[in-house]
Structure 1
């Protein structure tokens, strides 16, 4: 029966791979459920974290296969410092081990994966900071796939820190209020993601994004995929389903943009909706066939009037 299940799962994975036509550039993962998985198995929390680390290695491989450009992993939040010291110390040891192992792995260098940590890493033990520095230095020249490890990370803390930096520079006269824009805020966020998040994945059954990358994900209206398996149980089929969710979200977004632009063009016309016309031309293929045919007829009629 196990062999039949494996065959069926492999067949389903191949079907999903054939169905997918696009890949998110930046995937962010909340690695949830390690401790609950360990309790379910009758093991210690550290055993759950180690099992989760094996899944992390697989997800890195699947991301490379799918053509993902950037992968961000929510590994240790600022709230996690409140967990029992013994559990955190074991997790810190595991982080040190895996960071150095990744930094030395042939597959990381062959695939030119750049490893970076994001968050308030100064709060981490010295041995973890040393491992982070080692991994970053060993992969600093790569840019094929960015692997961001969120450590001592909190989204609210990140935004609050950026706001304080902006306020301080305004008070000191280094920055004018009229100069505050998206770029000036982004420059003061944690050194981290190089692009907006397209897809957030959360296993473990909880349907919330837990203060993860609010600027890069929520501001970009990222697709979100929730699933019930704990992180150590997360399979390739779950990963592919997540990408399918992103594709559906992207398709819906394109259709909405096109329909709004079409409504604006029809309602106003004239030079003031040139931007809407450009959006419409860009996304018209996302319209339902009936609306697309009507649009083409209207465009032909407008061209004839202009020619006359």
Structure 2
């Protein structure tokens, strides 16, 4: 009886969260933290934690496809993870190899149009993992409905350092003028993989830090962040929906801020520029939720 009540409560909460959402981020990045601590809590082997975490990853992809997320980046193995015990590293490598091949052959991956890419210093990985990467990328290269980037042997500072060195070398060789260095110049030298900026970073396991993950794509876009206490194998769909709600609230707040800035512009400009300023304000106002429009309209009327 208690389990039935719990399931009904979960289902009701999930419906409530879904009703509060009006959209989804385009690119979600996930730091899948807590597999080892979950295993210790359960009195199980570390390998069991990683295996159950991989099942959560599969569920996450289904949730993203359902909500219309276009890109997902998973922090699967960092450069710092090479410091872990050899037995644990080898198990992770075995699991990554297995999952890459399984995903690449899965009907639901092909039906959903998932394009798999690996990002990071993949040459540092064992040959069997590199072969699995090549296999998965080759099998899914033709798709573009959902991009799945798997960060393996990845470090954000190393990525930016490599890009900076490439730019410096091009300048030194006379192939690039310093004044021509731009955002595009740097982006062309980053790891091939992410096709858009990160909108939302999710981290499980209780730590509130982003751990050197996608600094260019996330920090530059001021991505929303969602930190939660469940370990990755415990992460549920309602946790994911709560993360999406955090992103949506942040976007609503930004739209409101931009609309108020436009209102200040209307109040400050010369008379000759008023029509243009009002046009700008109108565009921002239309992007606001109904609950915010009334407040902006009141201030707009007061500014007349």
Specify the TM-score bucket, using the shorter chain as the normaliser: over 0.9
What is the correspondence of 1:10-29 to structure 2 with a 5 Å cutoff? 10-29=11-30
From 274, 291, 297, the equivalent of 2:296 is: 291
CA distance change for structure 1 residues 96 and 282 in 2, over 3 Å: closer, same or farther?
Answer: same
User: Any gaps of 5 or more consecutive residues in structure 2?
Assistant: none
Matches of 1:261 and 1:81 in 2, distance apart? 50
1:166 aligned residue: 167
State the secondary structure of the residue aligned to 1:210.
coil
Query: Compared with structure 1, are the counterparts of its residues 278 and 69 closer, same or farther at alpha carbon in structure 2 (3 Å cutoff)?
Result: farther
Q: Is the aligned partner of 1:58 residue 2:59?
A: yes
For these two proteins, the number of residue pairs brought into alignment is 299
Q: Which moved more, 1:92-101 or 1:255-264?
A: 255-264
Q: Distance in 2 between matches of 1:22 and 1:271?
A: 38
Per-residue deviation, 1:273: 9.0
Corresponding position of 2:223: 222
Q: Cα gap change, 1:53/1:279 in structure 2, threshold over 3 Å: closer, same or farther? A: farther
Match of 2:114 in 1: 113
Cα 1:133/1:273, change in 2 over 3 Å: farther
Residue 128 (structure 1) shift: 0.3
Q: Aligned partners of 2:278 and 2:121: how far apart in 1?
A: 45
User: Aligned pair 1:75/2:76, yes or no?
Assistant: yes
Q: Which residue of 2 aligns with 1:192?
A: 193
CA distance in 1, matches of 2:278, 2:149: 38
Give the deviation of 1:276 after TM superposition. Answer: 6.3
Deviation for aligned residue 1:270: 5.9
Cα deviation for residue 277 of structure 1 reads 5.6
TM value normalised by structure 1: 0.93
- Classify 1:276/1:39 alpha carbon distance in 2 versus 1 (closer, same or farther; 3 Å): farther
Which residue is 1:304 aligned to? none
Matches within 5 A, 1:72-151: 72-151=73-152
Corresponding residue for residue 176 of structure 2: 175
Deviation at 1:143, TM superposition (A): 0.5
Return closer, same or farther for 1:279/1:161 CA change in 2, 3 Å cut-off.
farther
- State the distance in 2 between where 1:278 and 1:188 align: 39
Shift of 1:278: 5.7
- The 2-side partners of 1:116 and 1:275 are apart by 45
The answer (yes or no) to whether the contact 2:259–2:296 under 8 Å persists in 1 is no
Structure 2 SS opposite 1:258: helix
Unaligned runs of 5+ in 1: 302-308
Distance 2:227 2:183 in 1: 29
Q: Once the 2 structures are TM-superposed, how far is the Cα of residue 53 of structure 1 from its aligned partner?
A: 0.1
> Is the contact made by 1:257 and 1:279 (CA closer than 8 Å) also made in structure 2?
no
SS of the equivalent of 1:32 reads coil
Post-superposition offset of 1:264: 3.0
Q: What SS does structure 1 have at the residue aligned with 2:29?
A: strand
Deviation string 1:164-196 (CA, Å, 9 cap, x unpaired) is 110110000101111111111111111011000
Ranges of 4+ aligned residues in structure 1 off by more than 4 Å: 270-279
How far the C-alpha of 1:296 sits from its partner, in A, is 5.6
The alignment's TM-score, normalised by the length of structure 2, stands at: 0.94
Distance 1:89 1:270 in 2: 70
